[in-house]
Structure 1
Amino acid sequence: MILIWGEPQTSKNAIVNKTVDWDECLKICYESATCTMAWNSNDSCTMYNFNSMSPVVKGSSKNGSVVAFKVTSPENQCPVGLNPPTFDNQNATGRLYVNNYPPSFPYYVNYTMYFDNGIWKMSYIRTDGCRGTFNHIIQYSNNSGLCVYTFMATNDGSFDYDQSLELCKSEDQYLAGLVEKEDFKWFENKGQELRKLTKSKDIYARIDGVRYTTCRSNLKTADCRSPKGFKFTGRTISNFNNYKWVSNSSAMATKNDNCLVMVSVKIDVRGCPYDTAPLKTQLVFCSRRAWSFPDLHFN
């Protein structure tokens, strides 16, 4: 935290705490995922989150108003120059990671403090893990993830492959491609949960993957049994290592069995048309790579 003489232009939407001293106020803001500034105001702790931060008018020791900015600085070094925390008029920066999932999707905030005609101001860029109609995020150990949206039949109908593609596309998404171990665990659990809510309890769920035409008469070749034998519209599927097959990737009980589906907790190759498979396809899993959305800029 960098302390300066100054006074915020407004305390609108700020958080006021009259029960803690200044040192505790600084500690709370520093440890908060969203706080970027604290103000020692009339013996009250006034804290500002990144999205409610007020411009700060430069002051002096005469008025005694102290503001603390949370910014990134070299270890054990304080700013130099006339207008800290802008490091001799070089903009100061900070970074927040906010993860309250569920219910809110995680996001990053990269912010910049700058000095403009006697006033400190802040701009920030927000990067969302997921955005829009997605209702779930699968978070991976490497800090990447997958945003997921589910369509579920409300009657006794069935989704065919082309319809499923269009449904996902309508939400700026793709049919869900399963890659990571976390994907399979999540989709297996979600499939089991949702099948209890569908009219037909034994069902398929559409996922990404349709067999290339050239492989439909060459099922046993190594390439056709691998992801190279299937067209994927979304994520790159490099191997089937995590796939638990009902039989295997070359399954083709009928000539229409060319689309990957989930059944219970396994993967099968079944009919692309809705009426050519033993079970009804009443779930469609759509997805999009997390952290792939355009940044949001705020001044």
Structure 2
Amino acid sequence: MLLSSFFLVLLFMTRIYSDTFSMIVTYGKPTNFTSYVSFFAISWDDCVIQCYKSMSCVVAHSTVSPISCNLYDVNKIFGVEKLEAADGFLVAFKVMNNQSFCPIGDNPPTFGEGTNHGIVTNDVGKCAYDINFDNTNTWQLTYTAIPDCPYGWTIFTRPTTKWCIQVTGGADITYTQSQALSYCEQLEATLTGLETTNERDFVANTAIDILGPEYPQFAGFWVSGVRKSECYADGWQDIPYCTGTNLQQFSFSDDYLSSYSGYTWDYEQPDRNAVGQWSNCIQIWIRNEAKFPNLTYSLYANGNVDDAVCDGVDYQDYYLRGFACGKLPVIPDGAC
């Protein structure tokens, strides 16, 4: 009866705090661990909730009476022995649970000989873990580091990978395309492409924040894309993919693009020419609608792309004020 009531309380808590994780309560005692943190809890529910709310806690444990709450973080606990109610030890596992109910079955949280999972974050990075029940009557926990974006980068999901983007620039500085690419390379990155409209909107809106309210002009930020040599050499008009808005006329340093749906061309672009110079690199327009309320934003939207002069930083009364870098997530040293 006691254990059933815990399940109900924890289901309610889960539905308040998250639709992804649950705390599964049963009887058991950690047997293989390196450290834990003792937490003053007025009740077992309080102990379990503290583990649930912690970004790094995997397991909570206490005697039935008196309550003695111990919290075990990721990669600090590896084995939990299954016990019976009469043994007087409670344990709670943080696990994935996308259901609207608490699962039932033998040997929770694995419910038989299956595997349960979780993902938590420690001071270094993200870790996934599996929980398996073995023939020694013990739940075994194993950990795997998850690649993640460094601080200051934002993660996006692409069809083939996760992708990290960072936007850099300023209202009082200008960049050529080669300078922008070089800066990204120093960060072990490249100029990012625009796989989705979410990536495009993130770059454009972040750039508006970077430029700030006092910058009144249109500006461009560099993104991945350089026109192929055959698409501006004599006779390019006779090559089908070199014409119109076809993105095949460009090569991309971002090797993880597949749909290119974030590249939305500005009105009558690409036009290949700016003040008598070849426009062979791709920039994204940064336009603050609040500054220009009369602009036809259906044609000249913030985040549209345009071909620009690669080595030009100022022409046609606007400036290349920044760029967006992209790279794969990494596993930080010491994670898990």
Shared fold, TM over 0.5: yes
Q: What letter corresponds to residue 67 of structure 1 in structure 2?
A: V
Q: What letter corresponds to residue 135 of structure 1 in structure 2?
A: G
Query: 1-side partners of 2:124 and 2:162: how far apart?
Result: 11
Matches within 5 A, 1:225-264: 225=244, 226-234=246-254, 235-236=256-257, 238-239=259-260, 243-253=264-274, 254-264=276-286
2:198 to 166, 172, 182: 182
Query: For residue 205 of structure 1, what is the aligned residue in structure 2?
Result: 221
* TM-score, normalization by structure 1: 0.71
Q: What letter corresponds to residue 223 of structure 1 in structure 2?
A: Y
Tell me the secondary structure at the aligned position of residue 233 of structure 1.
coil
Query: For residue 111 of structure 1, what is the aligned residue in structure 2?
Result: 130
* Residues 143-196 of structure 1: CA deviation (Å, up to 9, x unaligned): x7542123325854x322222222112212121211212122222211222223
CA contact (8 A) 2:167 2:206 kept: no
Tell me the secondary structure at the aligned position of residue 175 of structure 2.
coil
* Residues 14-55 of structure 1: CA deviation (Å, up to 9, x unaligned): 2514222x3564466468664321112431333333254476
Deviates more, 1:180-189 or 1:119-128: 119-128
Query: 1-side partners of 2:177 and 2:262: how far apart?
Result: 24
Query: 2-side partners of 1:64 and 1:117: how far apart?
Result: 20
Q: What letter corresponds to residue 137 of structure 1 in structure 2?
A: T
Q: Does 1:214 align with 2:214?
A: no
* TM-score, normalization by structure 2: 0.65
Query: For residue 43 of structure 1, what is the aligned residue in structure 2?
Result: 67
Tell me the secondary structure at the aligned position of residue 270 of structure 2.
coil
Could you tell me how far 1:105 is from its partner in structure 2? 11
Matches within 5 A, 1:138-153: 139=156, 146-152=163-169
Could you tell me how far 1:283 is from its partner in structure 2? 0.5
Deviates more, 1:56-65 or 1:265-274: 56-65
Query: 1-side partners of 2:280 and 2:127: how far apart?
Result: 40
Tell me the secondary structure at the aligned position of residue 330 of structure 2.
coil
Query: For residue 289 of structure 2, what is the aligned residue in structure 1?
Result: none
Q: Does 1:122 align with 2:150?
A: no
Query: For residue 193 of structure 1, what is the aligned residue in structure 2?
Result: 209
CA contact (8 A) 1:204 1:281 kept: yes
Q: Does 1:288 align with 2:327?
A: yes
CA contact (8 A) 1:178 1:237 kept: no
Could you tell me how far 1:242 is from its partner in structure 2? 5.0
Query: For residue 68 of structure 1, what is the aligned residue in structure 2?
Result: 92
Q: What letter corresponds to residue 249 of structure 2 in structure 1?
A: G
Structure-2 change in CA distance of 1:57 and 1:152 (3 Å): same
Structure-2 change in CA distance of 1:49 and 1:29 (3 Å): same
Deviates more, 1:235-244 or 1:252-261: 235-244
Q: What letter corresponds to residue 168 of structure 2 in structure 1?
A: F
Query: 2-side partners of 1:240 and 1:4: how far apart?
Result: 52
* Residues 235-256 of structure 1: CA deviation (Å, up to 9, x unaligned): 3254567514153124323333
Could you tell me how far 1:92 is from its partner in structure 2? 4.9
Q: What letter corresponds to residue 64 of structure 1 in structure 2?
A: G
Query: 1-side partners of 2:136 and 2:154: how far apart?
Result: 43
Give the CA RMSD over aligned residues. 4.5
Q: How many residues of Structure 1 are paired with residues of Structure 2 in the alignment? A: 283
Q: Identify unmatched segments of 5+ residues in structure 2.
A: 1-23, 287-301
Tell me the secondary structure at the aligned position of residue 39 of structure 1.
strand
Could you tell me how far 1:58 is from its partner in structure 2? 7.9
Q: What letter corresponds to residue 181 of structure 2 in structure 1?
A: L
* Residues 209-251 of structure 1: CA deviation (Å, up to 9, x unaligned): 0111111142686412311000111132545675141531243
* Residues 48-76 of structure 1: CA deviation (Å, up to 9, x unaligned): 33254476578787863333334579953
CA contact (8 A) 1:113 1:120 kept: yes
Query: For residue 106 of structure 2, what is the aligned residue in structure 1?
Result: 78
Query: 1-side partners of 2:96 and 2:26: how far apart?
Result: 13
Could you tell me how far 1:202 is from its partner in structure 2? 4.3
Query: 2-side partners of 1:95 and 1:126: how far apart?
Result: 12
Tell me the secondary structure at the aligned position of residue 263 of structure 1.
strand
Query: 1-side partners of 2:207 and 2:185: how far apart?
Result: 21
